[in-house]
Structure 1
C-alpha cells in the first residue's frame, strides 16, 4: 500500500511527490503528461527558472523526483477513486488498481477554447491570461482584452503597468455606464462588437477581426476562457466545490484538505489564481497536510 497516491504529475503534483519522497514516504504519481501550460513556449516569473520552457522544467523535475527510491512515477490516467483514509483504492485506465492511505488530487484544469478561428492556435503564445507571465515580452505594444465577465473590467487598470495602448473588446456584452466612463478616462478604447477571428501566424497575433468586418491591430490579446477540472474524480467523491469567475474549483481548507477526510488537493484545481509559483506552493502544503494527517 502507498502512503500517498498523487493524481496529476505537473508542478503541484511533482512538488508534493518530492516533499513526501524526502520524508521517505511511499508515493505513486499518476500523470497523463498534459500539463496546462504545454502550449506556452516559455514559463516566466518563476524564481531561478525565468524563460525556461514548461516541458523542460517538468522533465528536469521528473528526473529529480524519480531519484527518490520511495517515489514511483506512472504515465497513466486514474479513472475511479473510492474508499476511506488508510484504505483508498484508485483504478487506472489500463485496469490496474492501487491502494493508498492518503490521496492528493492535482490533475489541474482544462481550458475550453471558444470557437473563434485562431484562438486555440495562439493560446499560450500571444492569446494569454496572465500579464505577469506573458506581459513583459509585449510591453509597450497594443494589447486587447476580451470581455468574459465583470472581472475583465479590472484588467485594463492592471495592464497599464505594461502598456498604455489597450482596447477592450466587449464581444457583444453590455457594461455599466460608470465602468465605461472610468475606463475611457484611463484612455482605454472600448469596442462593442463580437470577436470573429484572430489573425495570426504560428500563434503570433497580428490583429483581430470583428463581426462587422473591421480589423484591429494587436500584439497580444488577454482572455479568460471557461475552464473545467481535467478529470472527474472530485465529482465521484462528492467534494465541496467553489465557483470561480471562469469555472469551478475544489474547495480546500488548511493544508489543502478537501471536504473528505484523507483527500487533499493542490494546483490550478484549487485556486482561481493560476501560475507555476502558486501551484508549487499548494503542492508543498498538500504534502505536509497529508503527512501530518498520517501522524495523528
Structure 2
C-alpha cells in the first residue's frame, strides 16, 4: 500500500510525486490521459520550458519519476473515491481497487465554453482564456475578445500586446461599459457571435458581418471540476467552484489533499490556472504529506 494515491498526472500530480519520491515516500500516480491543456500546442510562461509542448513536458517528468523506486504510475480512469477504515478506496473503471491512507486530488478543471459554433475546434490553438499564457504570441497582431464578462480587465492586459483589440460583447455590456472600452482603444461589436472558424492564418468571427482577427481570448468560459471526487468526498467548495485548501493543500476532510487549478485558498480571489502555480501547489501538498508522515 502506498503512502498516498495521487489522482491526476498533470504538473501538480507529477511534481507532488517527485517531491515524495525524493523523500523516499511512496505514491501511486493515476494518469487518465485527459488534461485541461490537452489541445494546447505549446505551453508558455514556464521558465526553462517556454514553448514546450505539454505532452513533451509530461513525458520528461515521467521519465524522471521512473528513477524513483517508491513512485509508480498507473494508466486508467478512476470511477469513485470513498473513505474506508484504513484510509481511502480508489475504484477504477475496470472494477479494480487500490487503497491508501491518503489521497491527493490533482484532476484539474474543465472549461465549459460558450455555445458558439466552431469555438471548440479553436480552443487551445487560436482561442484561449489566459493572456499570461498566450498573449505574447499575438504581439503586434489583431486580437479579439469574446464575451462581456471581465472584458475591460482582459482588454487592459492585452492593450500593450496587440496592434488592435476588438471586443465581441454579444450585447452583454451597457453603453457606459462600451464607452469605457472604446476609450481604451477597443473596437466594439455588439451583435451576437454566430460562429468562429479558422480561415488561413486568420480567425473569422461572424457577428452580423465577418470580422477577422489573429486570435481570440474568451472571457465567458466557465471552469468546473473535471472529476466528481470532491463531491463524492463531501469536500468544502469555494464560490469559484474550486476545492478549499490550506497553505499545504489540506482539504476539509483529513487525509485528502488537493493541488492544481481544482483548488485554492479562500484568501485568493479565484482559480489561478498556470503550470508553474500547479507544480508549486503539488510540491507544497507533498511537503504537507511528508510532514504528517514524519510525525507518525
The alignment's TM-score, normalised by the length of structure 2, stands at 0.92
Tell me how many residue pairs correspond in the alignment: 288
Q: What is the alpha-carbon distance in structure 2 between the residues aligned to residue 4 and residue 243 of structure 1?
A: 28
| SS of residue paired to 2:285 | helix
Match for residue 209 of structure 1? Answer: 206
Do 2:148 and 2:173's aligned partners in 1 also have CA atoms closer than 8 Å? no
Matches of 2:39 and 2:70, distance apart in 1: 32
Q: Which residue of 1 aligns with 2:267?
A: none
Partner of 2:142: 142
| Deviation sequence 1:209-237 (CA, Å, 0-9, x none) | 01x2x011111110141222111010011
Task: Tell me, in whole angstroms, the C-alpha distance in 2 between the residues paired with 1:88 and 1:263.
Answer: 9
Cα distance in 2 for residues equivalent to 1:18 and 1:201: 43
SS of 1:120's equivalent in the other structure is helix
Q: Distance in 2 between matches of 1:273 and 1:74?
A: 27
In structure 1, C-alpha distance between the alignment counterparts of 2:85 and 2:211, rounded to whole Å:
56
Task: Name the structure 1 match of 2:194.
Answer: 196
| Contact in 2 for aligned 1:26/1:71 (Cα 8 Å) | yes
**Structure 1 unmatched runs, 5+:** none
- For the residue of structure 1 that corresponds to 2:34, the secondary structure is coil
* 1:218 paired residue among 210, 213, 237: 213
Q: Superposed, which structure 2 residues align to 1:154-193 within 5 Å?
A: 154-175=153-174, 177-193=175-191
CA 1:148 to 1:265, structure 2 compared with 1: closer, same or farther past 3 Å?
farther
Q: Which runs of 5+ in 2 are unaligned?
A: 265-270
Q: 2-side partners of 1:86 and 1:257: how far apart?
A: 18
Q: Tell me the residue number matched to 2:4.
A: 4
How far off is 1:123 after superposition? 0.6
- For the pair 1:74 / 2:67, whether they are aligned, the reply is no
Deviation, 1:198, is 0.8
Please list every run of at least 4 consecutive aligned residues from structure 1 whose deviation after the TM superposition is greater than 3 angstroms: none
- Post-superposition shift, 1:132? 2.0
| Structure (1/2) with the larger helix percentage | 1
Match of 1:115 in 2: 115
Q: After superposition, what is the alpha-carbon deviation per residue over 1:104-160, rounded to whole angstroms, capped at 9, x for unaligned?
A: 1000111223332221111111101112221222111111111252x2321101111
| Cα distance in 2 between the residues matched to 1:281 and 1:6 | 15
TM-score, normalization: structure 1? 0.92
Residue from 209, 224, 231 that aligns with 2:227: 231
* SS, match of residue 295 in structure 1: helix
Q: Deviations over 1:162-187 (max 9, x none)?
A: 02411111123133x44333221111
What SS does the aligned partner of 2:137 have?
helix
- SS of equivalent residue, structure 2 residue 43: coil
Match of 1:241 in 2: 237
**Which residue of the partner structure matches residue 291 of structure 2?**
292
